[in-house]
Amino acid sequence: ETGVTQSPTHLIKTRGQQVTLRCSSQSGHNTVSWYQQALGQGPQFIFQYYREEENGRGNFPPRFSGLQFPNYSSELNVNALELDDSALYLCASSLGRSGSSYNEQFFGPGTRLTVL
């Protein structure tokens, strides 16, 4: 069984650029969530995708967007990068329907984004 993988591991961008981060879910999982973790803080929920549709979003602006593909892998896109977007971006996969009882989430190792 393959765990959650993310790419790239590290990325450096400049302010104003756009970035795409990728996540492969654990085998059989149909739900993907993205989190942002600033240095020294706990992860903050960005949004969740279930069967290719966004269903649940945290307090993040529209320049944070995502996609989930038929194989349940996912992308996080961030436009017009700002310095405060520098963080570890975590992807988590799980099996379950949105809004239903909780299913354990399996996190990837994250992508470290630095915005200069």
Partner 1 sequence: DAKTTQPNSMESNEEEPVHLPCNHSTISGTDYIHWYRQLPSQGPEYVIHGLTSNVNNRMASLAIAEDRKSSTLILHRATLRDAAVYYCIRRPNNAGNMLTFGGGTRLMVKP
Q: Is 4 in the site for partner 1 (CB under 8 A)?
A: yes
Burial of 36 (0-12, 13-18, 19+ CB in 10 A): buried
Of 11-19, 65-73, 78-86, 98-106: span binding partner 1 (CB under 8 A) = 98-106
- Figure out which of the listed residues 100, 113, 114, 115 binds partner 1, where binding follows CB under 8 A: 100
Site residues (CB under 8 A) for partner 1, limited to 38-57: 41-45, 48, 55-56
E strands of the chain, at which residues?
5-7, 10-13, 19-24, 31-37, 44-50, 53-57, 64-68, 74-78, 87-94, 106-107, 111-115
Residues lying near partner 1 in the complex (CB under 8 A): 4, 31, 33, 35, 41-45, 48, 55-56, 58, 90, 92, 94, 96, 98-110
